[in-house]
Amino acid sequence: MRRVLAARLDSAGDVLVTEPALRAIAADPEVAELTLLCGPQGLAAARLLPEPDALECWASPWTLVPSPAADAGHVEDLRRRIAAGGFDEAVIFTSFHQSPLPLALVLRTAGVPRITGASVDFAGSLLDVRLRPGEDFPEDQHEVARALRISAAAGFQLPADDSGLMRIADPAGAYFGTAAAAGGPDPAAPYLVLHPGASAPARMWPPERSRAAVDLLAERGWTVAVTGGPAEADLTAAVAGRHGIDLGGRTGLRGTAEVLSRAACLVTGNTGPAHLAAAVGTAVVSLFSPVVPPVRWAPHGVPVELLGDQTAPCRDSRARNCPVPGHPCLASVSPADVAEAVERITHRTRRSA
């Protein structure tokens, strides 16, 4: 029986798209315990996943923005924790623009005997199983598929009858059991969710457009709940205005998952809540900034209406702040465009229900 460490050190959405690969590891009858190492920005999402038996959280200097200092004490803290875990092997999950090698070095010095990762760079003795992106597998695939490639290389496959779709632990009761009576949407009546924020400003639809979309959707008969974290309370209040329901800072990630699970669809940018909606099976109107490719990062496994100019000059730049005056990739999308996409996608999902 093996103790396995899986690592995904970036944000909430990144952790969520890794869930099917974690499921593949957990399904192996020889795995006695699965520990997930995540970053502080991914911890809330990690707590929603059913597979890990334990969680470790560490702020990676080579992954997070802003980056913590890469001092000896900080790295030694992780090395000691990994050494104390007695892991038989580790699987490092990364996106196409990240390297597993800094973490592999720490894990190797902590005594982990078998390490798997995907690296375009020569790995020397740091990886026992090295996938070469672009050679062993194509990079133009969804992050869910990429993570499954990495877990498969380590020897962990999903069962034949597993769909490979993302899942989270059942969120029932996390929000509606406590807060709906205080003005939230009625879970028994149709409603939409609009999430206006994003961790990277380049991926946000202009807030005034979000506010106008809430007003237009309400005019067309929709109840619209506006979600966001505690730090986004001013944004969600402004976007909700008089016609939306402001849930900013009220739900937490688990509560947001339940709100999304009962919604007709979500309207948001390419950010973590889009992947959370996919994990609970909710359709997404995706205001997708092409700073990263939609083939890799669009919501996975649910109906999607992709909006935004995918040929804009910011394409594939990975910019956190828009490098083009006027933010044309998303400013070109009107509230009417969003309202029409909502009607299309909800019509499709009603017909298939």
In a domain, 164, yes or no: no
pLDDT at 146 (0 to 100): 96
Q: What is the pLDDT of residues 105-142, one digit of tens each?
A: 999 999 999 999 999 999 999 999 999 988 888 888 99
User: CA-to-CA distance for 36 and 22, rounded, in angstroms?
Assistant: 9
Tens digits of residue pLDDT in 293-320:
999 999 999 999 999 999 999 999 989 9
Which residue range is the domain that position 74 belongs to? 2-153
Q: Does residue 304 belong to any structural domain of this protein? A: yes
- Yes or no: say if 223 and 189 are a contact pair by the CB < 8 Å rule: yes
At residue 331, the pLDDT reads 93
Mean pLDDT within 67-84: 96
Global pTM? 0.95
CA nearest neighbour of 256 among 276, 236, 237: 276
Give the domain-ending residue among 153, 171, 198: 153
Whole-number pLDDT of residue 307: 98
pLDDT at 178: 55
Q: What is the CATH number of the domain that holds 204?
A: 3.40.50.2000
**End of a domain among 138, 153, 168?**
153
Q: Are the C-beta atoms of 87 and 4 separated by less than 8 Å?
A: yes
Q: How confident is the model at residue 62 (pLDDT cuts 50, 70, 90)?
A: very high
Residue 179 or 3, more confident: 3
The answer to whether residues 192 and 114 belong to one domain is no
82 and 188 co-located in one domain: no
Same domain, 141 and 272: no
- 15 and 55, same domain (yes or no): yes
pLDDT for 167-218, tens place per residue?
999 776 667 655 554 567 888 889 999 999 998 899 999 999 999 999 999 9
- 162 assigned to some structural domain: no
In a shared domain, residues 231 and 311: yes
Strand partners, 7: 37, 92
Q: Determine the average pLDDT of the residues in 322-345.
A: 95
Number of domains in the chain: 2
CB 187 within 8 A of CB 176: yes
Which of 146-160, 213-227, 251-265 comes out lowest in average pLDDT?
251-265
**Do 18 and 90 share a domain, yes or no?**
yes
Domain boundary among 118, 153, 188: 153
